[in-house]
Chains A and B, each alone.
Chain A
Amino acid sequence: MNGQVAILGCSAVTPLGFTPEENFRAVLEGRSELRLHKGEFGVREPFVASLFNRDAVRKEAYKEGIPGYGFFDTIVLLAASKAIREAGIDPASEKVQFVLSTIKGDGTPLSSSAAALREHFHCKHPVTVVSNACISGLSALVSARRMLLCREDIDYIVVVGAEVQSRFIVTGFQSLKALSEEPCKPFDAGRTGLNLGEASAAVVLGREGAGWQIVRGVVRNDANHISGPSRTGEGSYNALRALLPAPEDLAFISVHGTATAYNDEMESIALERAGLSEVPVSALKGIFGHTMGAAGILESIVSMKAAEYGIILPTAGYSTPGTSRPVNLSASPRRFEAPGSVSFIKLLSGFGGVNGAVLFRWG
């Protein structure tokens, strides 16, 4: 087993589509739902975000047999249900554990969303909620991988990441002057901040399986500032370093790329310090916005799809290099040859000084 766990099923639910394939296509074709919203959620200043068409989601949920929940719980259950079906496991089995990744849930206690998940699927174990700021999704994967490696009583773990937007979150990011008034431009010289997004995504992990594997993953803190990224990229560098030496089949790194001045600059420094400046990089937030608790799982799943096709995804919004260190980005899709096996790294960082890096491999 050598420390790997297998991905047996996955799902991605975003304003751009309800399957991993549709979401991958959207990134490839540069389609986005990042739009200007005026007065949404009672927020006074207009903002750009990728928001769900709630009716369309409810219709899809109804088809999936998930009626009558609050909107946040609906997208959680929808993503979980799709991934569980693909994996072909019985969620009510003693051998199945659930992990939920979110930052704000639906505004009510996070533990109540855990309860909704447990009750809907009749889970036999308490649901663990990982709330580790913007890296929550990767933290949940790191944590779930360890659980599978260490606990003999659990055979499968359903990891769901989800976030919906609200007056609370949007005004908060506005107060931090972190939002861009136009679709965001990760790593671009003209970047002016991030956009928020809504999404849910899920994976089912098991000990053994033929396709995608989670090889390793870690979380590291900058020990620097609760909201500002480290100027030296300390935590991201240390998280990447834990995955070195880079595997020979490393095709690309899917970075955080929020399009704030400090984050992207920090990542360029961390990549350079880790000796990874030449590895192709892609950032997805110019398509989905920052989907917070969903980001780690959604961006990993879309990257898996891309790697399966031998594609390094384009970075929407990027045109002119805008960091002090070189980053190997492109506004258009690129191809790579993957004879036999392929791997990629997913990197994120967040408030509280957290940074996460996870290595995925196929074959």
Chain B
Amino acid sequence: MKDGEIVMQMSEEKGTALLGAAYRHLKVSYPKFFKMDAISKAGLIASEILLADERERFVPREDRAVVLFSRHGCEADDIHYRETITDGNYFPSPALFVYTLPNVVTGEIAIRNLYRGETSAYVLEKFDAGQIVSIVSESFEDPVTDSVLCGWVDCADDNNVEALVFQVENGDGEEFTADVINGILTNYK
């Protein structure tokens, strides 16, 4: 969904399979997507939906930060990496290991969109709109930051993916508050 409108709907697929279907549906051309772990895929697809109508994309910029929150960090990928270092099958995979960092999803969004501003990843004990809003608002203290791509991107495992992202800007418009986030969640459910 974007701004209350349904972008695509699937009943069969879930988790990373759903993200793969979304990649094709949105006609994103970024083959590196298939190398990513679940949370990076989720962050990338969510940001593609969010930014689809933006003019002047893919021009290097320092004024947009990427600040994402999750509960499970990169645990979905940790499981896959751990399978490559068991006693019976000991071939540590570099391609899996590089995604076992909760912030790589923010880096992938920055690389895709050429954002040279701040990128930060936070792990919260549980979803907390108040905490998200304060940390995002505080990130505008950086004088270079005028815009923040932010939100909740969480993957408990490959089959459970949640993403709710926002584009928050300095200026007039609807204020970014915990009530706004909670309102969206209530309406959606």
Contacts and interface: CB of A to CB of B under 8 A. Distances in A.
A and B part of one assembly: yes
B1 interface: no
A129 B139 CA distance: 16
B69 to A, nearest CB: 9
Nearest to B74: A131
A351 B71 contact: no
Contacts of A352: 101, 103-104, 106-108, 119, 121
B7 interface: no
A21 B72 CA distance: 37
B18 interface: no
Interface of A: 42, 44, 103-104, 107, 109-111, 114-115, 118, 126-133, 139, 143, 146-147, 149-151, 167-168, 171-176, 218-227, 234-235, 238, 242, 350-354
CB-CB nearest 4 A-B residue pairs: A352-B107, A172-B97, A175-B92, A146-B138
Given A109-B72, A176-B98, A353-B110, A168 B85 contact: yes
Interface stretch (B129-137, B160-168, B176-184): B129-137
Interface string B119-146: 1111111101001001101110110100
Nearest to A125: B131
B111 A110 contact: no
A222 B123 contact: no
Contacts of B85: 167-168, 171
A283 B144 CA distance: 28
Contacts of B75: 109
17 contacts: A104-B100, A110-B102, A111-B125, A111-B126, A126-B125, A126-B131, A128-B131, A128-B135, A129-B123, A143-B138, A219-B119, A219-B120, A222-B116, A223-B115, A353-B107, A354-B103, A354-B119
Nearest to B32: A226
Contacts, number: 161
B102 A221 contact: no
A79 to B, nearest CB: 19
Task: Categorize the interface residue count of chain B.
Answer: 35 or more
Nearest to B111: A223
Contacts of B82: 168
A227 B122 contact: no
B114 interface: yes
Contact of B81 (A168, A220, A223, A227): A168
Contacts of A109: 71-73, 75, 123
A311 B118 CA distance: 32
